[in-house]
Amino acid sequence: MEKLTKQLIKTAKSAANNAHCPFSNYPVGAALLSKSGKIYKGCNVESSSYGLSVCAERNAIAAALVDNAQAFSALVIYSQNGATPCGACRQVIWDVCGEIPIYTVDENNNTKEYNSKNLLPEPFGAHKLE
């Protein structure tokens, strides 16, 4: 997994280079690993109407879903200071990926490992809609 994690980090950093963040100047990149081994990347896309902005994590998830990927193994998020996902992303990660490891990486390559259930304890999910 270490070699794969390094590839995910490289992919997330690369995705951050494509971020559209003219308002915050805070590029974020994400790399989502499917259980089939394919890596999906996303970057943050900001809008002048801030509520319409979309985070890198959700863009990576959307790219995977467009490709019909349905099971995931890990997510890496790269930002200048290794920020964790926002609340909206935590919910979408839970809904689509379930319990997976999430790694944050900063510009100095400091890496922290989390788990989606730790980042969103007592999650709301499909089981609550039954």
Q: Residues with catalytic annotation?
A: 57
Helix (H, G, I), strand (E, B) or coil at 12: helix
Which residue from 66, 63, 65, 59 is spatially nearest to 20, judged by alpha carbons?
Answer: 59
DSSP count for the chain of H helices, then E strands: 4, 5
Which residue from 32, 118, 18, 110 is spatially nearest to 73, judged by alpha carbons?
Answer: 32
